[in-house]
């Protein structure tokens, strides 16, 4: 039989498998099904590693990748809040804080503290690592949506003001990647995929 520490770690490992059941508004490229949170996190982590040279500041890439991998674990309990859902955004932090406490409490205490500190660092948007991780969180769904002809923006009647409001913070992590985002957004506005 396993010792208590390993038992806790394995319970957490099994619990986070539920992240695969949390589906997002964003669709897979090629007009596929909705992606799930685990796919989103994996995609972001790989992107962060590949695009790290475009960070505005020197970063600890392993820390960024771990932020990418854990940032949506809380959605197992809190659910996915669509980026442009003003009503649910009002309660998002409270729901995620409750989920954070429950889910990370499955771990041994020092690992719980480590994961919560990393999650909170991501949410605070102050360190170079969190800014770059957020840039990935903004870029990844935008790339998928663009690859699908802007279908998700059209379906939700997203406006340029909404998209630029969310994407403007990307510059804090990467000015270069924001230039790419800005170009893609302008093209989608011209095509009518994003409302003016």
pTM: 0.95
- Rounded to 5, what percent of the chain is helix, strand, coil? 70, 5, 25
**pLDDT, the chain, mean:** 95
Report pLDDT digits (tens) over 23-78.
Answer: 999 999 988 999 999 999 999 999 999 999 999 999 999 999 999 999 999 999 99
Compute and round to an integer the Cα radius of gyration of the chain: 17
Q: Which of 135, 137, 25, 10 is nearest to 88 (CA)?
A: 25
For residue 60, is it left (φ>0), alpha (ψ between -120 and 50) or beta?
beta
User: Token pair for residue 131?
Assistant: 């800014």
Report pLDDT digits (tens) over 81-138.
Answer: 888 888 888 999 999 999 999 999 999 999 999 999 999 999 999 999 999 999 999 9
Give the pLDDT band of residue 152 (cuts 50, 70, 90). very high
User: Token pair for residue 155?
Assistant: 């379906």
User: Which residues make Cβ contacts (< 8 Å) with residue 154, sequence separation at least 6?
Assistant: 192, 193
Report pLDDT digits (tens) over 4-24.
Answer: 999 999 999 999 999 999 999
Q: Which of 130, 133, 138 is nearest to 178 (CA)?
A: 138
Give the pLDDT band of residue 176 (cuts 50, 70, 90). very high
Q: How far apart are CA 122 and CA 151, in angstroms?
A: 29
User: Which residues make Cβ contacts (< 8 Å) with residue 132, sequence separation at least 6?
Assistant: 48, 52, 55, 56, 57, 59, 64, 173, 174
User: Token pair for residue 138?
Assistant: 């903004």
Is residue 1 scored above 70 in pLDDT? no
Q: How far apart are CA 184 and CA 110, in angstroms?
A: 43
CB 81 within 8 A of CB 71: no
pLDDT above 70 covers a percentage of the chain that reads 99
Average pLDDT over residues 184-192: 97
- pLDDT at residue 82 in the model: 83
3-state SS, residue 28: coil
CATH of domain 4-191: 1.10.3210.10
- Residue 38 has a CB neighbour count (10 Å cut-off) of 18
Strand runs (DSSP E) across the chain, as ranges?
Answer: 23-27, 34-36
- pLDDT at residue 19 in the model: 98
């Amino acid at each position: 039989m396993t010792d208590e520490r390993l038992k806790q770690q394995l319970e957490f490992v099994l619990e986070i498998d539920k992240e695969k059941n949390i589906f997002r508004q964003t669709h897979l490229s090629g007009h596929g099904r909705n992606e799930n949170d685990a796919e989103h996190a994996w995609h972001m982590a790989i992107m962060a590693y590949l695009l790290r040279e475009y960070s505005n500041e020197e970063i600890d890439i392993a820390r960024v990748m771990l932020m990418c991998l854990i940032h949506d674990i809380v959605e197992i309990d809190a659910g996915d809040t669509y980026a442009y859902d003003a009503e649910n955004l009002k309660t998002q932090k409270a729901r995620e804080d409750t989920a954070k406490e429950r889910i990370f409490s499955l771990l041994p205490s020092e690992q719980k503290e480590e994961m919560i500190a990393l999650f909170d660092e991501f949410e605070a948007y102050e360190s170079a690592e969190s800014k770059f991780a957020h840039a990935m969180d903004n870029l990844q769904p935008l790339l998928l949506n663009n690859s699908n002809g802007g279908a998700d923006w059209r379906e939700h009647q997203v406006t340029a003001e909404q998209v630029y409001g969310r994407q403007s913070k990307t510059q804090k992590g990467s000015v270069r990647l924001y230039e790419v985002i800005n170009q893609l957004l302008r093209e989608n506005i011209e095509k009518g995929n994003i409302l003016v």
